Structure 1
Amino acid sequence: MDLVSSQPFWLLKNGLPELYPPLERDERCDVAVIGAGITGALMAEKLTSAGHKVIVLDRRDVATGSTSASTALLQYEIDRHLIELEEQYGEELARTAYLACYESVSLLEERVKRLGLDDSGFVSRDSIYLASRPRDAKVLEAEAAARERAGIPVEIWHRADLLDRLAVDRSCALHSTRGAQVDPYLLAHGLLEEVVKRGSGVYDRTAVSSVEVTRSGVTLRTDRGPVVRAKRLVVAAGYEAGKFIDLRGRVDLNSSFAIASEPLAAGAGWWRGAMIWESSRPYLYCREVSDGRILVGGDDVPFRTPAARDAMIKAKASRLERRFRRMMPALEWEPAFSWAGTFAETRDGLAYIGSCRDHPLCYFALGFGGNGIVFSVIAAEIICDDLVGKVHPWAKAFRFDR
């Protein structure tokens, strides 16, 4: 199935920075990874840095699935409020999930710097979470208090602050300094380049047709004929992991839409580098790109078919433009690109990470939701520890039986 429309922004912007061959012969490795998007790339780089030999397989070209359509806001904030998760799961698990995300933004920044991936567009950003309606202010105030109790610094900006700093007329917002943005497509390519340099393999346009698990390991049979034999398997294929594990009742598919502007004129740094999003659901969010463009996204709807999703792009792009102009009426800008993607989200807003009772020797890195890249960083930490017999302190918040 097509995960994105015909003109995803990052692929248009960057082209194909690297080409990878299809699998043409049998391979053996410590860990096989299904999926060469940003999740698989983060996983494979972490595994190879720990000394594991890895084979990465993808049925598409590298990073041309959901990764090429992601607007890549890196936030510790989860689609569900901390206060909601505390009510559902208790304070310990909820705080663990939020703190894992909070720490993972810095972990990714450290990795990008250590590997010298300067062209990935990683930039630290503030996050501004707007109250969409006056009645949302009380919820945001309660959320701020819960985060402070969990050890996450946050401050409340009131209407006067927002008008002064952003020229946005809302009752209040939560301001956080732990956030970032990135070019997910170039980051995935940069990480996989490191994987290959370390002697592991990346093969695209190679679909896994079956997975066989025995006591001695995992055998992956491909549509091209060659097989991969591994000690362990990590499935990092997004919602397409449904081919290998039953996801019914766990995730919902949504179509999400985005537009990118022409580069803004010099001196139009109105948001002071912040990422902005709002409390309404489905929410609107925006950030800038390294070349001065604005990315605006959201307005999600339940997924039906790729054709139905793509038929909505024009109308949804117009709606995103109108909503953003209402938010920022004084800003002069011009839309240039529009696209859509299909993404999965869990019912509680948390990723599914780790092993599953029905699938021995297999791990799943399913970073569903609005901050899937951050979840993918978390998945790499949890699974790498589990491979050497350690239980990561974050694992309990993202396990399948939570």
Structure 2
Amino acid sequence: MDLKSGYPFWAIRNGLMQSMPKLETDLRCDVLVLGGGITGALIADALIGRGHDVAVVEQRDIAWGSTAASTALLQYEIDTHLVDLARRYGEADAGLAYRACGEAIDRLAELARSVRDVDFERTDSLYYASRRRDVPALQDECVARRRHGFEVDYLDGPAVRQRYGFDAPAALLSTQSAQVDPYRFASRLLARCRRRGGQVYDRTRIVDLQPRSRDVLATTDAGTRIRAGHVVVAAGYASQHWLPKRVARNRSSYAFVTDPLESALPEMLARTLVWETARPYLYLRATADRRLLIGGEDDDVDIPARRDRRVDAKARRLIKRVTKLWPGLDLTPTFAWAGTFAETEDGLPFFGPHVATGPRVQYAMAYGGNGITYSMLGAALLCASIERRPHPLARLFAFERTG
């Protein structure tokens, strides 16, 4: 599955950070993790930290799939408003999901400090109303978030103009957000996994999974076999291959990054993630070297050749949208790209087993706009599931919630 088009910034900036061996002999392990992107890396790190014997296999080079195309906005905000999630699943579960995402950002901060040199930075998050008719919903969302303990400020139009230099009817300002270099983070995590005794292989494609009563037998395209007590399918948007029917819709999102703007980058933008209420939404953030990274213009195209042809035109449309907000910015794209992402109906991820493949095959489908945040909290959830411990989010993030 071709998960990206164009020239993703993280891959260009870092080059190939890790070259892992290809699996060429049979092996045994406690847990086999399918997928060497940021989701698989976070889960493998958590499992090894709890004493499990872990092997990771990736069909490409490490972190070279959708992780390299991620724009890596780390937020507690879920694509589905807290108010809407409460209507669907109840106030308690909706608040639990939002608070878990907030706690996951704190854990990501601790993890980033321990692996070091991944450009992790705490930021603010500005969620602005795209249209005046979005203001009442934004006000309701502000009340709901405060009720669940989040520190969030409501800014009216003049306050948005004064603080951020663009016109919007209103906005919510939160301080519990962050950003990271996702490719670098995944690569350094998996290198640490190897140092701690884990096995990591790339250019190794699993073509068959056979769940059995005591283990799972996985077979590669070269015929190599892996016997694992449990398997975690963390293959990003290709994970649905192992399910009898799709549980999410694959889409494409487009992005570009500028040259370093240095003093031309407004200080408030240098430390704030910006996104909007419209769906699909425009979003932007700064990088550690003061480039502006802008994304959006999502569409339903999931055919690589068609997506490839749209990258430049989508970048031009993104430029027009942002220059309407900040006319003075120099937004010449240095690199532009597109990547696959997936959306679930309710905006929540799927973590845990599926009835079709049994209890020994766990899934990590961190789908949606805050996939890295989901992956961090999902790592703890899957550790609990494998160890047969309860977890407060197991039911809400299970496949069964959708019927």
TM-score, normalisation: structure 2: 0.97
Aligned AA (1:321): I
**Equivalent in the alignment of 2:296:** 298
Q: Secondary structure at the match of 1:199?
A: coil
Distance in 2 (alpha carbons) for counterparts of 1:97 and 1:247: 25
Contact 1:94 1:397 in 2 (8 A): no
1:232 Cα deviation after fit: 0.4
- What's the CA shift string for 1:310-365, capped at 9, x where partnerless? 11111100000100111112333432111001111101100001112222211101
3-state SS, counterpart of residue 255 of structure 1: strand
Unaligned 5+ segments in structure 2 are none
User: Structure 2: how far apart are the matches of 1:182 and 1:337?
Assistant: 18
Q: Which secondary structure state, in structure 2, belongs to the residue aligned with residue 321 of structure 1?
A: helix
- Deviation of residue 148 (structure 1)? 1.2
Q: Distance in 2 between matches of 1:270 and 1:108?
A: 23
Q: Tell me if the contact between 1:97 and 1:398 (Cα under 8 Å) persists in the aligned partners.
A: no
* CA distances 1:190-220 after superposition (whole Å, capped 9, x unpaired): 1101110111111110100100111120111
CA distance in 1: counterparts of 2:262 and 2:52, whole angstroms: 47
Deviation of 1:395 (Å): 1.9
The answer as to 2:111 corresponding to 1:121 is no
SS in 2 for 1:396: coil
Hey, what does 1:227 align to over in structure 2?
Answer: 225
Kindly indicate whether the alpha-carbon contact (under 8 Å) linking 2:353 and 2:362 is maintained by their aligned counterparts in 1. yes
Distance 1:247 1:103, change over 3 A: farther
Q: Give the corresponding residue for 2:41.
A: 41
In structure 2, what is the equivalent of residue 324 of structure 1? 322
Find the aligned partners of 1:246 and 1:382 in 2 and give their Cα distance. Answer: 23
Identity of aligned residues (%): 44
1:260 matched to 2:257 = yes
Residue 141 of structure 1 corresponds to which residue in structure 2? 139
Deviations 1:159-181 (A, max 9, x none): 12111111011111000000000
* CA drift at 1:304: 3.5
Q: Residues 296-375 of structure 1: matches in 2 within 5 Å? A: 296-360=294-358, 361-375=360-374
Conserved 8 A contact 1:23-1:224: no
CA contact (8 A) 1:83 1:143 kept: yes
Q: Is the 8 A contact 2:244 2:356 kept in 1?
A: no
Task: Tell me the CA shift for residue 99 of structure 1.
Answer: 1.0
How far apart are the structure 2 equivalents of 1:71 and 1:267?
A: 21
Aligned to 1:206: 204
Give the distance between the partners of 1:375 and 1:54, measured in 2 at CA: 21
TM-score by length of 1: 0.97
Match of 2:83 in 1: 83
Secondary structure of residue in 2 paired with 1:310: helix
Residue by residue, what CA displacement relative to the aligned partner does 1:31-62 show, whole Å, maximum 9, x if unpaired? 00000000000000010011101110111111
Structure 1, unpaired ranges of 5+? none
Q: Distance between the aligned counterparts of 2:65 and 2:18, measured in 1?
A: 16
Other-structure match for 1:395 = 394
- 2:390 is aligned with 1:386: no
> Are the equivalent residues in 2 in contact too, given 1:56–1:202 (CA < 8 A)?
yes
- Distance in 2 between the 1:6 and 1:157 partners? 37
How many aligned positions are there?
Answer: 399
